[in-house]
């Protein structure tokens, strides 16, 4: 029943992406919302237990919320994790496959017969960066009428783990230096000439392009076909522990409403919101503006619209088709629209 489950702590985590959760956290709204109930709201990153912090990927911690890239929550759900999809946001971002000018590659069709780097992170539960890179590469090839058989996909092993080794009181699992470190394998392989092209995305990708003087071989982050723009970060998934949704939907509704209120605040306070988002991403505000554009501030409100649910189904099918998940499931059944009644 509604009040049978006592809750004294709600846990949250979010990816280094533009999220209304990050804004609500920075403004202190989530803590303020639940403080009168004697409920503490804490970040996974505060914990000294790596097992607790790993819940960012496997969503194993009870009474927790996650907003960010969709691959880990799809992966954990496919493995039987007791979670519910409580929302999603469609935030368009810069996505491209790039090459160095000396390569002579100027368009997707020029990728035929070339080597394209795809990272392989060897020390993480789910290699969502590889999934992101692979989808970007295959999309670029498809836009030129090519397939993976027309190129050489080069594995680029990376030992750097996404998860920090120590607790981070700042609340983010990814300090700026770590966000740069996880791009190391692809970046140096391109510079050394071991590959001819790599995929980039977001504000970090835009900054890397400037550093390298890279040629945008395929730029599809704002392609007219929505399906072309689907990736790990588009749409982002907002999930919660299944037991919490079942037993304390009152708390989940309040959490969701607070996050949605933060999204509305971002729309009306763009300068301050930009500062918060840039800090979350570990990038300069200029790169955030370049990568996400003006639509960013009107795109942060989570929902369970048909558009985002169908896009997550599309992404789930991609991950299943390419072996990132082993078991199929219905995204529509995973969703919890009753929270919006």
Each residue's pLDDT tens digit, 118-142: 998 887 788 898 999 999 999 999 9
Between CA 240 and CA 221 the distance in angstroms is 28
Beta bridge pairs of residue 43: 12
Q: Does pLDDT of 92 surpass 80?
A: yes
Average of pLDDT values for 156-176?
65
Beta bridge pairs of residue 316: none
Each residue's pLDDT tens digit, 30-52: 999 999 999 999 998 887 777 78
Average of pLDDT values for 173-185?
71
Nearest to 130 by CA among 232, 206, 46: 232
The gap between the terminal CA atoms of the chain, to the nearest Å, is 18
DSSP 46: G
Of the pLDDT bands very low, low, confident and very high (cuts 50, 70, 90), residue 341 is confident
CATH 3.40.190.10 in the chain: give the residue spans.
9-91+232-340
Percent of the chain at pLDDT > 90 equals 79
Nearest to 282 by CA among 163, 158, 130, 180: 180
CATH 3.40.190.270 in the chain: give the residue spans.
95-229
Of the pLDDT bands very low, low, confident and very high (cuts 50, 70, 90), residue 1 is very low
Among 16-20, 43-47, 239-243, where is mean pLDDT lowest?
43-47
Which pLDDT does position 176 carry in this prediction? 66
pTM: 0.94
Give the right CATH number for 95-229 from 3.40.50.300, 3.40.50.1110, 3.90.1150.10, 3.40.190.270: 3.40.190.270
The superfamily (CATH) of domain 9-91+232-340 is Periplasmic binding protein-like II (3.40.190.10)
Mean pLDDT of the chain: 92
DSSP 197: B
| Phi-psi domain of 202 (left: phi exceeds 0; alpha: psi -120 through 50; beta: other) | left
Q: Does pLDDT of 16 surpass 60?
A: yes
Residue given tokens 């692809």 in the structure block: 186
């Amino acid at each position: 029943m509604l009040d049978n489950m006592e809750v004294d702590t709600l846990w949250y985590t979010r990816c280094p992406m533009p999220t209304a959760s990050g804004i609500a956290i920075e403004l202190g709204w989530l803590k303020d919302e639940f403080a009168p109930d004697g409920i503490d709201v804490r970040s996974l990153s505060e914990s000294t237990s790596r097992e607790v912090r790993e819940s960012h990927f496997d969503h194993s911690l009870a009474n927790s919320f996650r907003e960010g890239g969709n691959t880990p929550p799809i992966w954990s759900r496919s493995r039987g994790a007791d979670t519910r999809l409580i929302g999603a946001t469609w935030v368009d971002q810069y996505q491209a496959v790039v090459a160095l000018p000396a390569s002579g590659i100027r368009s997707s069709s020029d990728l035929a017969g070339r080597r394209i780097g795809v990272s392989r992170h060897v020390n993480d539960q789910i290699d969502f960066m590889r999934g992101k890179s692979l989808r970007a590469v295959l999309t670029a090839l498809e836009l030129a009428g090519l397939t993976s058989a027309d190129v050489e996909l080069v594995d680029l092993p990376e030992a750097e783990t996404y998860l920090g080794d120590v607790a981070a009181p700042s609340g983010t699992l990814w300090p700026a230096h770590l966000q740069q470190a996880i791009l190391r394998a692809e970046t140096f392989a391109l510079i050394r000439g071991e590959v001819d092209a790599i995929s980039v995305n977001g504000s970090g990708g835009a900054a890397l392009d400037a550093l390298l003087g890279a040629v945008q071989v395929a730029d599809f982050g704002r392609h007219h076909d929505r399906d072309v723009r689907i990736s790990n970060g588009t749409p982002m998934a907002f999930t919660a522990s299944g037991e919490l949704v079942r037993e304390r939907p009152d708390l989940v509704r309040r959490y969701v409403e607070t996050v949605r209120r933060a999204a509305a605040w971002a729309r009306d306070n763009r300068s301050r919101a930009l500062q918060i988002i840039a800090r979350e991403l570990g990038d300069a505000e200029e790169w955030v503006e370049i990568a996400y554009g003006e639509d960013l501030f009107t795109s942060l409100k989570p929902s369970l619209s048909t558009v985002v649910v169908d896009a997550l189904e599309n992404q789930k099918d991609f991950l299943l088709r390419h072996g990132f998940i082993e078991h199929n499931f219905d995204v529509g059944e995973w969703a919890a629209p009753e929270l919006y009644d």
